[in-house]
Structure 1
Amino acid sequence: MSAPARSAAAPTSATTTATAASRPSCAGCDLTADPALERIAEIIHEAGLDDERFDAPEAPGLDVVLRGLSMIGDDEHTMTITKPVFDGLDEYYRRATLLGREPA
């Protein structure tokens, strides 16, 4: 069974806002200075565009989860539900960076 077609709008708008909400505002920041945030951005890019620019095997799963959540509530509900998901991704990739391997 093939994955559903993806559009850039659904995952990108909810995801970007959820990730940004978990961090202080930093207009003009170099996001590549934060390896965890850079990795999450790559996953979000692939979830939204699926252009194979980044190796992000997590992207199809994230895309399905975000699409499903957007089907059961409005944007505010989706944002409320996805914030802990993105906080968890952020913590996972921060620990992976510190450990130099996937955390247990």
Structure 2
Amino acid sequence: MSSAAGGPEPGILKRSVMIAGHRTSVSLEAPFWDALRHLAAARGTSMQALIGEVDAGRGGQNLSSAIRVFVLRAVWVEGAPPEFDGADPADIAPPS
């Protein structure tokens, strides 16, 4: 997505990841990167490995969209990370 001025959307962070030996870029909002990091840690794996799993099961879906759906489903099933319990979503800061 782009802003009206043609630049990247505010709050979108673009990161390079290696999937099956190929480098690709993924654009996600900071809270999704944070949640993905927590999910990977909780599962004892790396973010890159977790993204690889999402990639392997996404079919023709856009990778960034597939990651967002994966994170949403995981939070529904596993719940939010403990530090988010009772937090106002507006007060949750992106990782620094």
Short-chain TM bin: 0.3 to 0.5
TM-score (norm 2): 0.34
- Highest RCO, 1 vs 2 (Cα 8 Å, sep ≥ 6): 1
TM-score, normalised by the number of residues in structure 1? 0.32
Question: Could you say which structure has the higher helix fraction?
Answer: 1
